[in-house]
Amino acid sequence: ETGVTQTPRHLVMGMTNKKSLKCEQHLGHNAMYWYKQSAKKPLELMFVYSLEERVENNSVPSRFSPECPNSSHLFLHLHTLQPEDSALYLCASSSGIGTDTEAFFGQGTRLTVV
């Protein structure tokens, strides 16, 4: 049982489609993250939101568009993706700044772009 829930768990989309990934956390945290995990590569941080404001964007292509309407919800809007964007997209949350702040991850959305 995880305090961070992601939907859908699996998604197959064409390069011209528009889809959204959803993340919800039930832990009362005030920071949320999107990570990308590709085969043979380490987790890559995409976006960080703190108190619903984006505080970091690691030069992610504009075809990925995040939205954080409140501290419990995070979306990743996808449009005109490329096959190389196929990966596991993980959402995480934490209680904020702190040297020992643990990040809790959702189970991820496995995305395949065809």
Partner 1 sequence: RKEVEQDPGPFNVPEGATVAFNCTYSNSASQSFFWYRQDCRKEPKLLMSVYSSGNEDGRFTAQLNRASQYISLLIRDSKLSDSATYLCVVKVEGGSQGNLIFGKGTKLSVKP
For residue 43, how far is the Cα from the chain centroid?
11
Under rule CB under 8 A, residue 1 binds partner 1 = no
Under rule CB under 8 A, residue 90 binds partner 1 = yes
Under rule CB under 8 A, residue 60 binds partner 1 = no
Under rule CB under 8 A, residue 34 binds partner 1 = no
Measure the N-to-C terminal CA separation of the chain; round to a whole number of Å: 31
Q: How far is the CB of 37 from partner 1 (least distance, A)?
A: 9
Pick from 69, 81, 79, 77: which is nearest to 32 by CA? 69
- In a 3-state reduction of DSSP, which class is residue 3? coil
Radius of gyration of the chain (CA): 13
Under rule CB under 8 A, residue 55 binds partner 1 = yes
Q: How far is the CB of 79 from partner 1 (least distance, A)?
A: 25
Interaction site with partner 1 (CB under 8 A): 2, 31, 33, 40-43, 45, 48, 50, 55-56, 90, 96-108
